[in-house]
Structure 1
Amino acid sequence: MRASRIVSTVALSMCVAGLVGGCAGGAGSGAAVRSVPRTAQAQDDLLKSAQTELVQRCLTDRKIPTPTSAEPQPADGQRQFPYGIDDPVWAAEHGFGIAVGTGRSRPATPKLDRTAAARQQRLADALFGTGRRELSTRTATGFVVRANSDGCLAEAQRVLYGDQAAWFRTDVTVNNLAAAAHQRVTRDPAYRAALARWSRCVAPVHKAEDPAELRAAWQRQARDLGRRQATALQRRYALAEARCVRSTDLAATGTQLERRHTAELRARYADQIDEHRRLRDHGLRYAVRHGR
């Protein structure tokens, strides 16, 4: 699957959720003139609201119906352990943090009928454009991401940021730096050495080369177990993972290396980071000026 298709799929979900969620009041709402928010989260919310309103206007002009139901939201309270669970207490209570099924097969997702499929395709074409993808950039992880410049999303970004091609290039680059840093960590000799120590530590419970393999082993075994047994096994494996992560400093090594690789990547891509910040500031000023 090409990176551009992955990005398009994710973007479609984000656009649909944003369109359903609605937008902030426009210039005619009578609100007082605002200044650019100080916090990054508030700035993100403002840009998202402004872009959503511009996309909605474009779709309306093109007579494209917008969705009427929201996408399901991810569950709250999930913790992220990018380099293995390092909290034995959490692992003893939550295991890997993976919900245990009932053991019964889930019903297949119903296929869209032709009318619904055509409507969805029309929406996707209007959002992302059609034909040859004119825009292309390579991320720090090595993927080539492509996009069209004739869809409503591109039009909204052109209005909001002033230069849609530059925004696409810098936004893709900046948003992939964290993934690139993680990729570099997993290939770093220091991390590989810590991972080998972890593998030897966890072997008495289950042989696995890394935490992902340990999770996969549990999932395979859980298919043939009842809920209680599957839950107990998940907690046993997760606790073994966490204890070995602690004793081998796997997560600490990963976190330390990530800081170093992140700094190196930010230095390497400093020009694009600065340009992304400039375009983002342009978008924030536009959103405030137009009462988004």
Structure 2
Amino acid sequence: MALSVCVTTLAGGCADGGDAGGPGSVPRSVRVQDDLLKNAESALAGRCLTERRISVRSDGGDGQGRGVAPQREFPYGIDDPDWAARHGFGIPVEHGSREQRVSASKEQQRLSDALFGTGRRELSTRTATGLVVQANSDGCLAEAKRVLYGDLGRWFRAEVTVNNLGAAAHRRVTQDPVYRAALARWSRCVSPVQQADSPGELRSAWQRRAHDLAPREATALQQRFAVTEARCVRRTDLARTGARLEKRHAAELRTEYADVIAEHRQLRDHGLRYAVRHGL
């Protein structure tokens, strides 16, 4: 997915969200700032690829292709039965052969190596969930971030940490006794259709059962499981319980990581000013 997004962005750029804040100034809107930084990283990475004589072409992999469900997030289980009836879990059922997928993967490997780097991963940091994230420093995306933010190592550590605070909050919610009680009620609710301790387990159960089914049958089974999930999420108030608890845990994490958040904001401001100053 990361490579597809990078290729599409590098080949076509991002849409301008407006609210530019005037010529030569940093935009006021956070969304527009995000677009500006994304465009700047893409422009700098594109120049790097050109210097390395690697061409970029978009294959239309923007996630809006045939059979792909509209993008929605359900962090604590699908709570929209109508959406579930139309899109199931939102997981596409594969129709292509394994050979076709392997061939497409090979075609992307050279570009992936150039973008993300190869060899030993020199950058490393630990997130609030305890996960160790590593990356190369010799790829074109790393070079773009080095130029844009001034210090690749500091940016990598701050960006990874801040970007994973949401996952850390989600993890704390799933361990919260209040959420666990709601989840137990949800599990009992779905048990007549499929035994599962969590929405994730329900998806895994579908994947196991769908493995030997024809695409149409696999899709029908996915929709049946997803509707069951959604109805039980509604009945047990699972999603609203998770969302309520997440606000509290997210606030706690913002306090715990206030220094890293401040450093991330400082480096981000540096990148925004660089992008504006150099017309990126």
Amino acid at match of 1:145: V
For residues 238 and 154 of structure 1, the distance between their equivalents in structure 2, rounded to whole angstroms, comes to 39
AA in 1 matched with 2:89: F
CA contact (8 A) 1:208 1:214 kept: yes
Structure 2, unpaired ranges of 5+: 16-21
In the alignment, which residue of structure 2 is the partner of 1:44?
34
Distance 1:98 1:153, change over 3 A: closer
> Aligned residue for 1:96?
89
* 8 A contact 2:125–2:134 mirrored in 1: yes
TM-score by length of 1: 0.79
C-alpha separation between the residues in 1 aligned to 2:194 and 2:215?
20
1:285 to 265, 273, 279: 273
Q: Does 1:165 align with 2:165?
A: no
The 5-angstrom pairing of residues 35-184 of structure 1 reads 35-61=25-51, 63-70=52-59, 72-75=61-64, 77-99=70-92, 106-109=97-100, 111-112=102-103, 120-121=109-110, 123-184=111-172
Q: 2:233 aligns with which of 245, 251, 255?
A: 245
User: In structure 2, what residue type is equivalent to 1:48?
Assistant: K
The runs of at least 4 aligned residues of structure 1 exceeding 6 Å deviation read none
1:6 corresponding residue in structure 2 = none
Q: Aligned AA for 2:172?
A: R
Q: Considering only CA atoms, is the larger Rg found in Structure 1 or Structure 2?
A: 1
Answer whether contact 2:5 2:62 (CA < 8 A) is retained: no
2-structure distance, mates of 1:153, 1:263? 31
Rounded Cα–Cα distance in structure 1 between residues aligned with 2:85 and 2:251:
35
CA distance in 1, matches of 2:45, 2:219: 45
Alignment of 1:213-228 (within 5 A): 213-222=201-210
Give per-residue Cα distances to partners, 1:128-158, cap 9 Å, x unaligned. 4454433221111212122333433232212
C-alpha spacing 1:147/1:219, structure 2 compared with 1 (3 Å): closer
Change (3 A) 1:245 1:129: closer
User: SS in structure 2 opposite 1:208?
Assistant: coil
Distance 1:235 1:131 in 2: 42
Structure 1, 153-162 or 71-80: larger mean CA deviation: 71-80
Q: Give RMSD over aligned pairs.
A: 3.0
Preserved contact between residue 23 and residue 53 of structure 1 (Cα < 8 Å): no
| TM-score when normalising by structure 2 | 0.82
Q: Which has the higher contact order (CA 8 A, sep 6+)?
A: 1
| CA pair 274-206 structure 1, distance change in 2 beyond 3 A | same
- List runs of 5+ in structure 1 lacking aligned partners: 1-8, 25-31
Distance 1:258 1:131 in 2: 38
